[in-house]
Structure 1
Amino acid sequence: MAAADRLVESVIDVDVPANATIGVTLSTEQPLKITKLSPSSCFLGKLFVGDIILTINDTKIANVGEFFKATKTPGKYHIRIKRDEYCTCKVSVLPAPKPGTESFEFDMNWRTGGMPIGILVYQDSEKRVIVSMIESGTLASQTLKPGDHLTKVNDVVILDKAMAKKMIVESVNAQNKVKLTVDRQTQAAPGSIPAPASTPPCSTNNPKMPNYDLPLPPDVLAIMEANKNFHKAPFNLPSILKAVGPATPSGSHINMPETVPEENQIEFDPSAKPLKTTPKRVGAA
């Protein structure tokens, strides 16, 4: 079956408010495909990386300019797209490697190419490969979280960041799939502030919390909630700034009285006579 035959056509309804951020990056070639979504995009959660734009309010969209022209005013839009519904991620829960830590296996599959996994990783002081950032609108944004410890790629133990990046890129490019095994901390580390059990996860359904693309850890949300009005609270601690009194004269400084500099008059002859050499100034070489 051809790749185009596996694309499912559907209509997405999106309400664009006034002064909304479009935040969509599109490919320059046909078909017109979404390549990136910013975290502030009004289409976040409705459109995804890899979606092919067909029409907006029954008007055919052939290039990037037509897309932005069609969405520049607030209102309700009916966006007809083609999406590979088989761009999926199968999640398997593995036995916990240690108390306070969960382990997951994410089997990511793409039917067509050109869809990035959308993660950045770094290596910490313990030589662990940690997910540091996740791109909005990608397959990884629905599964992985910042702080996840990447332990295996395609069942191969990861030794460093370079190895992880190389194996992920090669697997996605060659097979349009990759399997990631991660450990996720579920309890706060010793010395940190634990989150209360009533702290809800950050989601678009909770109007009291910011609308993040990715849920923040519960302990971070608890700290943010406890300190959100810190600038309004009275401050009674003594200031670290000390008042400085007027400077007093001391023997190490010499007060020089201000004097008007002497003026040197230069002689000149206004008559129409041959010019004379200007005398040298006092102190000139």
Structure 2
Amino acid sequence: MRIPRTIKTGSVTEINVEVRRKQYDPKIEFVERSRPPKVKKVGYNSYLNGSLYVGDEVIGLNDEEIRTADDFNRIVCARSNEPARLRIRVRRDCYYKINIKRVEGEQGNGEVLDLEIKWRRGGMPLGVSMEDSRGRITISEIQAGSIADGNFHYGDVMTHVNGKRVTDIKSARPAILEAINNNKSLTIRVERPERLGEVSHLPADVAKIIKRQINFHRHAHKYSAAITSAEREATTSS
């Protein structure tokens, strides 16, 4: 990977997401008087977290047109067991900009990098899964077609979120979500092992997964990318 680098990519698209309704309160906030309702905040413990993102516009729900937040809440907050599943039609702005910089003078196990991400309105998912191990947070999975795809690496160790030290997932996840909710921008610092063997600090099962997935981006996979190669190369003004 050539470092530093800056990437701009994405466009506005409509997608369907399906989630199982787990409670009456979805713990989601919309921009006041927005039509269609635009997501302002998704609670950390919301069952919609990971399915809806800040900036998403909800335009349909279970085959009904959604014009206002009240339309959405009338269905989602129903005091009954139905509907058990929510089929949500979303208009999502997939534009984002990522700037990757090498941090000079920092001591780490390999390269130390800052990944600065900015969204136009939010929507494009970060797309990483993390594992706790011996006081460190390690990237263990990367979602195809997400921001992380091609920018984060399996085995990256997350050390800071927006300049604050993080040592476990419990502290990292709320910090990431708060930054996206409030600022639509996020800076994550990672240590990137120079050699594959340097993931030995992880439990054997996690290290095995990372070693197996280390060249995932070179393999064909069943997931359809959220953005096309043409969009990936296009420069879009914010």
TM-score range, shorter chain: 0.3 to 0.5
The structure with more helix, counted as a fraction of residues = 2
Bigger relative contact order, structure 1 or 2, given CA contacts below 8 A and separation 6+? 2
- Which is higher, the Rg of structure 1 or of structure 2? 1
The structure with more strand, counted as a fraction of residues = 2
**Alignment TM-score, normalising by the size of structure 2:** 0.46
